[in-house]
Amino acid sequence: MPQQIESIDPARAVLIVVDMENDFVKEGAAFEVPAGRDMLPRLKRLISFCRERGIDVIYTTHVHRPDGSDMGRYADIYPAIADGSGLKDGTEGIEIYPEIAPEPGEIVLKKHRYSAFFGTDLDIILRGLDTDIVIITGVTTENCCHATARDAMFHDYKVAFLSDCTATLAYPDLGYGELSGEELHRTTLVALAFSTAHVMTAEECVAKVAAAEGEAAAE
């Protein structure tokens, strides 16, 4: 049975904004995801809602050290990482896109792999916040968002994966045919909904928070 989340207690939920940094969101950036800009108004409203309801917001930013010591196989896969023109620590590219910039005190977690859990202290932070549910947003759907959602489930968190606050881009033909960003996004959502998360819209997420608040008020 696919995972279902009936309500989201704001006191035990965390919004994770995955890699909405300049190098992914800004026009003309090294890893530009245009669909990431398209969803910005919706994501911005959701972040504001979470802040108002006391839901902690954690940002991640994918970075690599200037000396390349933490690149690993990424140097083979992504030329912009190998030559330092993208995702380089200490540059403007790894800063969170200004339109959804963190507020003072909000955590910005630097990561070096797709998953926000790999090689970071995210699990320690979430447990310190008494987290039960993580809400996944950001880019890209099939890589960093997907990997973070999977690892969250592996760590026994419930996962709300927001279909309209995650985004990706088209893949070229590497021997198996081209894949549009829309189809890749949809396919990833199907896989996650079956095996990992409760896939929902931002509006549905807001309603589930309201449901939890209503339950608390009735007690």
Residue 174: exposed, middle, or buried by beta-carbon count in 10 A (0-12, 13-18, 19+)? exposed
* Dist. CA 44–CA 46, nearest whole Å: 5
Assign residue 197 the CATH number of its domain. 3.40.50.850
Question: What is the total count of domains within the chain?
Answer: 1
Q: Which domain holds residue 180?
A: 10-218
**213, part of any domain:** yes
Contact present, 134 and 159 (Cβ < 8 Å): yes
* Sequential pLDDT tens for the chain (219 residues): 678 999 999 999 999 999 999 999 999 999 999 999 999 999 999 999 999 999 999 999 999 999 999 999 999 999 999 999 999 999 999 999 999 999 999 999 999 999 999 999 999 999 999 999 999 999 999 999 999 999 999 999 999 999 999 999 999 999 999 999 999 999 999 999 999 999 999 999 999 999 898 766 655
Whole-model pTM: value is: 0.96
Q: Order of strands, edge to edge, in the sheet holding 133-139?
A: 107-111, 56-62, 13-18, 133-139, 158-167, 198-200
* Dist. CA 180–CA 141, nearest whole Å: 13
